[in-house]
Amino acid sequence: MRKHLITFLAISIVLNLCLAGTSFFTSAGNYSNDIEKQDTTQLEQLKIRIEQLKKEKQLLKERLDKLQSATPLETDDDKIYNWYFMRKEGHTPPTTEPLYLEMIKNRGHFLGDTNKKKIFLTFDEGYENGYTVKILNTLKNNNVQAAFFVTGSYVKKNPELVKRMADEGHIIGNHSNTHPSMPQLSDKEIKQELSTVSSMVEDLTGNGTHFFRPPRGQFNSRVLKLADEQGYSTIFWSMAYRDWITDDQPGEETAYNFVTDNIHNGAVILLHAVSQSNAAALDNIIKELKKQGYSFASLNHI
């Protein structure tokens, strides 16, 4: 819309200048013999160009009128946004782009209530790397509920772990069937990615999925809108670090320090369950955060 307006204004300015110039030449012709001797060919070409500009102006006006009368587009189909947050010092909750906040309004969360020391622990499960059992044991021993965002292949290959998650009161979230860039899919494909995982989880546990985390953190308004229409709340995060590279693990101490140094009210913590560092540090992380007065809540209460 803005591009059309700029073009329209530019053409209008040129047209008005040309018309003004023509008026000048015409008026001056009545008083000066020199003007009458102007190259008639150039003058005719100028008149032709002015007529062309008039037609282009009218066409642009018609297009603008049509755009202004149409229902505003709610989605930006071709745009891919990458989720990120901006950390603040002193355990202050982070923020993100104002555009992102507007896009997820009433359709998702990246923070809980920042007036309360209530936090949300979430894990992404793209594949099993041998640490989920340890993570589940730690959560059970500390009486903590978490959310596990699973892909279709994870559910298919690890049905017993998925059932255990549900049996022990954890949220099972939808991380898509094939872990694609969702904005690059058609509406039909997005719905299929979500429904496939939900059906698989429901077959195992008796309950479908109601929370969605976009693979790779890539999204746009269309993805959020379609997820919302399928009954999902999209969950981003306010705390995460580079923990998913299995052959470059930072270690237990680094994982512990990162979480405890960056904790804040309403935190949605993203950890990858493939990380040996996270699995090793989790028990101490939970105990330390509880000692600081934080409580762990289910996404059902975000």
Q: Is 266 helix (H, G, I), strand (E, B) or coil?
A: coil
The answer to whether position 14 is within a domain reads yes
Based on the fold, state whether residues 120 and 248 are members of the same structural domain.
Answer: yes
Based on the fold, state whether residues 15 and 125 are members of the same structural domain.
Answer: no
pLDDT of residue 53: 64
DSSP state of 65: H
Report pLDDT digits (tens) over 283-293. Answer: 999 999 999 99
pLDDT of residue 188: 98
Based on the fold, state whether residues 60 and 100 are members of the same structural domain.
Answer: no
The answer to whether position 135 is within a domain reads yes
Which of these, 254, 261, 298, lies nearest to 276 by C-alpha position?
254
The answer to whether position 76 is within a domain reads no
Based on the fold, state whether residues 287 and 158 are members of the same structural domain.
Answer: yes
Which of these, 240, 218, 228, lies nearest to 111 by C-alpha position?
240
Based on the fold, state whether residues 8 and 111 are members of the same structural domain.
Answer: no
Based on the fold, state whether residues 55 and 92 are members of the same structural domain.
Answer: no
61 is written with which tokens? 């006006």
The answer to whether position 75 is within a domain reads no
Domain residue limits at 295: 81-301
Instruction: Report the number of distinct structural domains present in the chain.
Output: 2
**Cβ partners under 8 Å of residue 283, min gap 6:** 138, 141, 142
230 is written with which tokens? 């399928």
Q: Is 291 helix (H, G, I), strand (E, B) or coil?
A: helix
Tell which of 26, 44, 69 closes a domain. Answer: 69
Based on the fold, state whether residues 246 and 100 are members of the same structural domain.
Answer: yes
pTM for the whole thing?
Answer: 0.75
The answer to whether position 74 is within a domain reads no
Which CATH number does the domain housing residue 131 bear? 3.20.20.370
Burial class (CB in 10 A: 0-12, 13-18, 19+), 106: exposed
The answer to whether position 259 is within a domain reads yes
Ranges under pLDDT 70 in the chain? 1-42, 44-46, 48-49, 51-77
Catalytic residue among 124, 170, 243, 264: 124
Based on the fold, state whether residues 209 and 281 are members of the same structural domain.
Answer: yes
pLDDT of residue 74: 45
User: Would you call 77 a catalytic residue per the annotation?
Assistant: no
Based on the fold, state whether residues 88 and 30 are members of the same structural domain.
Answer: no
Asked if 158 and 133 count as a contact pair (C-beta separation under 8 A), the reply is no
Based on the fold, state whether residues 128 and 271 are members of the same structural domain.
Answer: yes
Based on the fold, state whether residues 240 and 127 are members of the same structural domain.
Answer: yes
Tell which of 69, 98, 125 closes a domain. Answer: 69
Asked if 45 and 17 count as a contact pair (C-beta separation under 8 A), the reply is no
Tell which of 44, 69, 94 closes a domain. Answer: 69
Report pLDDT digits (tens) over 19-29. Answer: 444 444 444 44
The answer to whether position 196 is within a domain reads yes
The answer to whether position 278 is within a domain reads yes
Based on the fold, state whether residues 28 and 61 are members of the same structural domain.
Answer: yes
Q: How far is CA 124 from the centre of its chain?
A: 17
